[in-house]
Amino acid sequence: MKIKVGVIFGGASVEHEVSIISALQAIKNMDESKYQIIPIYVDKKGVWRTGEVLKDINIYKDLDELNRFSTKCILIRNDNKFYLQTTGLIKRYKYELDIAFPIVHGTNMEDGKLQGYLETIGIPYVGSDVTSSAIGQDKVMQKALYKSINLPVCDYIWFYDFDYNQDSLEYLKKCEKLGYPLIVKPANLGSSVGIKVVNNEVELREAIKDAYSYDKKILVEKVVSNLKEVNISVLGNYKSQELSLIEEVNNTNHMLTYEDKYINGNKSKGLSSSKRKIPADINNKLKTKVEEIARNAFKALGNSGVVRIDFLIDSKSNEVLINEINTCPGSLSFYLWEPSNKKYSDLLDELIKIGIRNYQEKIKKINSFDSNILSDFNGTKGVKGTKF
Ligand SMILES: Nc1ncnc2c1ncn2[C@@H]1O[C@H](COP(=O)(O)OP(=O)(O)O)[C@@H](O)[C@H]1O
Ligand SMILES: [Mg+2]
């Protein structure tokens, strides 16, 4: 019997469209002899939709058509089974699911919120769990975690927009202490949105203001000079990790912008087409360092499935710094696995297997007790009178 896989994508995220591309790429590469693939598209308002038509990229060009030919649904649990239930006056189960496969990028979807819903109803799912997704999305939390296990990160400070507004001079001083050029980032976005390199106080003020139109938490980092950017993908869970080849990303500008990542490239190939060199042109010592840091970061966050970890290297001093993790990377990083003979369909098989294994392990752990402590509870009067 085929495994029924619900691929969830879209959502209220600045990376909405990128998620559609990633998900449809994956759907195309999933082995239909093994899986019944059910697309679940979350629109920008958070409405869930399903239907075969959602497997076709062209439907996303015309949202009225999309609404007409797809079906609104919610994901529910009933008697230990999982269903996509229609939402109209007459509710019916449109599809049953065995496992959910989020292929999502950015806030509200990749950051643990969606995973929290999946955990709450108890459906098995592919990819990182709530905590590792949440930390992975927050650049500030991530850096703090890396520092705590002595992984190298660049010099930085962070602050809330509220505190900055109370005493901007104090924070500007702290930023300047790091030394220009600086790079200003909202803590919780992705795809280079809201990120700017600045060279003086005027630019710094402007970039901070811009960043806090996206997020209340702002990160200011020292720019790494002689920059070489390399990325590596990690596949597995806390027990075992497989490492991909390392890619080198050739940035056209000082940094990879949203346009570099998703627009300048050849659209038909989606995210995998921006300028990159695989394997990266780095010596063995640097390669081993990147691999070691990647493995440690993956384990420390408690990731699962496939991630991409991005590094900044100062090519003069050979200093290697971990920049960030992408817990559900663009195109699921399939292009980093293909050169080592892992086809995209094999990668997807492994991801689903890991998701099932995680679930089997989770349900073995005790997380509730059979005894019902509320059985003797007799209303709020009882509570007031209870001494703890
Ligand atoms: N400290 C830094 N020094 C130099 N360049 C940086 C630094 N941090 C980020 N960049 C550049 O900005 C890009 C986007 O930053 P990143 O932190 O990866 O944000 P995003 O989540 O948007 O990808 C990076 O790919 C890199 O080109
Ligand atoms: Mg990045």
The pLDDT assigned to 4 comes to 98
5: pLDDT strictly greater than 90:
yes
The pLDDT assigned to 285 comes to 97
The pLDDT assigned to 265 comes to 46
268: pLDDT strictly greater than 50:
no
Give the Å distances, CA to CA, from 35 to 5, 29, 82, 360.
Answer: 6, 11, 16, 19
Which comes out higher in pLDDT, residue 265 or 84? 84
The pLDDT assigned to 380 comes to 62
β-strand partners of 37: 5
162 and 248 belong to one structural domain: no
Q: What residue's CA is closest to ligand 1, atom 19? A: 192
**Of the residues 158, 195, 223, 261, which should be mutated to test ligand 1's pocket, given the most ligand atoms within 8 Å of the CB?**
195
Which comes out higher in pLDDT, residue 220 or 381? 220
Structural domain including 359 reads 225-364
DSSP per-residue letters across 303-321: --EEEEEEEEEETTTTEEE
208 and 271 belong to one structural domain: no
**Of the residues 255, 256, 315, 321, which should be mutated to test ligand 1's pocket, given the most ligand atoms within 8 Å of the CB?**
255
Whether 318 and 228 have beta carbons less than 8 Å apart is answered as no
The pLDDT assigned to 266 comes to 43
Interval between CA 192 and ligand 2 midpoint (Å): 7
* Domain CATH number, residue 70: 3.40.50.20
Whether 327 and 96 have beta carbons less than 8 Å apart is answered as no
Q: What is the mean pLDDT of residues 135-150?
A: 96
Q: Which two structure tokens, joined as six digits, stand for 20?
A: 């559609």
| Per-chain mean pLDDT for the chain | 91
CA distance 183 to 175: 10
Q: What is the mean pLDDT of residues 13-34?
A: 94
In a domain, 232, yes or no: yes
Interval between CA 154 and ligand 1 midpoint (Å): 11
β-strand partners of 156: 221
Nearest ligand to the C-alpha of residue 256? 1
> Nearest to residue 336, comparing CAs of 229, 233, 266, 267?
233
Structure-token match 């010592």, residue found: 285
CA distance 164 to 210: 13
339 and 356 belong to one structural domain: yes
The SS3 assignment for 90 reads coil
In a domain, 179, yes or no: yes
Which comes out higher in pLDDT, residue 232 or 261? 232
Q: What would the pLDDT profile of 185-215 be if each residue is shown by its tens digit?
A: 999 876 667 899 999 999 999 999 999 998 9
- Whether a cis peptide bond, with omega within 30° of 0, leads into 279 is yes
Q: State the pTM of this model.
A: 0.91
Interval between CA 268 and ligand 1 midpoint (Å): 25
The pLDDT assigned to 377 comes to 72
17: pLDDT strictly greater than 60:
yes
Interval between CA 306 and ligand 2 midpoint (Å): 16
Q: What is the mean pLDDT of residues 107-111?
A: 90
Total domains, the chain: 3
Interval between CA 48 and ligand 1 midpoint (Å): 32
